[in-house]
Amino acid sequence: MAGAADRAFRELCISFGAAFCVSELVSAKGVALGDKKSRSLLDVSEKERPYGLQLFGDDPAVMCAAAREAARNDPDFIDINMGCPAQKVVANGGGSALLNHPALVASIVAAVRNAVPARIPVSVKIRAGWDSGHINAVEIAKLAEEAGAAFITVHGRTRVQQYRPPVDLAVIRAVKQAVNIPVVGNGDVFSPKDAANMLEQTGCDMVMCGRGALGAPWLFAQISAWLNHEVNLPEPPLTEKLLVLCRQARRTAELKGEEVAAREIRKHAAWYIKGMPGAARLRARCGKLCGSDDLKQLVAEILEKSSVA
């Protein structure tokens, strides 16, 4: 997730049992033009494997050039984004805008498939369609399969719906029934029960968690425990949650430097404290965090308050 699931966070998700992670979406054009930030997003760390690099763009030749560059870092797969609803992405023809151009979808998948070594699977992430009048996930999924996609992730909402209303499981089920490649179901998985429900209602092969994992990377352990052993792992205690937040903050500082980490950890801290007593007031504090000492002080205060309460 762009601007949210960076390397520090993804490593945590893997350590809590996520089956795989995907990079933030990377502009194929940026990579092809040698843009430093785009290229740096293609780095792969051994601690976040299995790991997919996700590219977006609408030009098969540019996507090929970027995919070749991505393949040099030996990702476990390369994913093509056909679901991003952001205006700046769709305005340039990428992300979910591709759903309006099925022939282009097929060309891009085939081109990227041919551009990278066969050992690197190429996958596709799509939405249900552009809007309620154009639900075409099944058509797009079949084309992607024919063009060589190894698996497909379906977020059961249209581009116009963005993140509301609740995910449509029927469209994920329809895709699963229409293709022979594995299907990953995505949308509104916030708990082990949601994951089990997604698997049961759609028949999908795997479940992808987005927002539910933000500030709660232990969600993957909870989902695994439930799906594999029907064990209901409780929420970690407050102290442990805060320790995980501090671990993420330390790793972010290692990877991005203290200054950037100080800024970026603010939103993560706010996600971690969601649901804690006094969260609304604490959230305002999170927005003003100025580095690791500040974070330590906030954590100490939360713990002190919780022991008094």
Ligand X SMILES: Cc1cc2nc3c(=O)[nH]c(=O)nc-3n(C[C@H](O)[C@H](O)[C@H](O)COP(=O)(O)O)c2cc1C
Does 217 participate in binding ligand X (rule CB under 6 A)?
no
Judged by CB under 6 A, the residue of 7, 113, 155, 173 near ligand X is 155
User: Cβ closer to ligand X: 1 or 238?
Assistant: 1
Tokens representing 77 are 């797969």
Alpha-carbon gap, residue 281 to 286, rounded angstroms: 9
Alpha-carbon gap, residue 61 to 98, rounded angstroms: 15
Catalytic residue among 13, 21, 64, 84: 84
Does 152 participate in binding ligand X (rule CB under 6 A)?
no
- Ranked by CB distance to ligand X, the top (closest) residue is 210
For residues 232 and 192, the answer to whether their CB atoms sit within 8 Å is: yes
In the complex, what is the shortest distance from the CB of residue 293 to ligand X, in angstroms, rounded to a whole number?
28
Choices 12-20, 182-190, 220-228, 283-291; region in contact with ligand X by CB under 6 A: 182-190
Judged by CB under 6 A, the residue of 27, 38, 81, 161 near ligand X is 81
Choices 134-142, 206-214, 234-242, 255-263; region in contact with ligand X by CB under 6 A: 206-214
In the complex, what is the shortest distance from the CB of residue 188 to ligand X, in angstroms, rounded to a whole number?
5
Helix/strand/coil for 60? helix
Whether 84 sits among the annotated catalytic residues: the reply is yes
Tokens representing 141 are 């999924």
Contact code string over 11-30 relative to ligand X, x by CB under 6 A:
-------------xx-----
Tell me which DSSP letter residue 23 carries: P
Give me the torsion for CA of 160, 161, 167, 169, rounded to 10°: -30
Q: How far is CA 125 from CA 17, 44, 77, in A?
A: 22, 20, 12
In the complex, what is the shortest distance from the CB of residue 232 to ligand X, in angstroms, rounded to a whole number?
20
Report the chain's C-alpha Rg in angstroms. 20
Q: Which of 231, 225, 268 is nearest to 12 (CA)?
A: 268
Site size toward ligand X, by CB under 6 A: 20
Does 209 participate in binding ligand X (rule CB under 6 A)?
yes
DSSP E strands: which ranges in the chain?
21-22, 26-27, 51-56, 77-82, 122-129, 151-158, 183-186, 206-208
User: Cβ closer to ligand X: 136 or 161?
Assistant: 161
Judged by CB under 6 A, the residue of 17, 93, 212, 236 near ligand X is 212
Helix/strand/coil for 262? helix
Does 98 participate in binding ligand X (rule CB under 6 A)?
no
Does 194 participate in binding ligand X (rule CB under 6 A)?
no
DSSP E strands: which ranges in 187-284?
206-208
Choices 10-18, 186-194, 235-243, 286-294; region in contact with ligand X by CB under 6 A: 186-194
User: Cβ closer to ligand X: 125 or 299?
Assistant: 125
Does 1 participate in binding ligand X (rule CB under 6 A)?
yes
Exposed/middle/buried for residue 279 (C-beta within 10 Å: 0-12, 13-18, 19+): middle
User: Cβ closer to ligand X: 85 or 148?
Assistant: 85
Interaction site with ligand X (CB under 6 A) = 1-4, 24-25, 54, 81, 83-84, 125, 155, 186-189, 209-212
The set of catalytic residues is 84
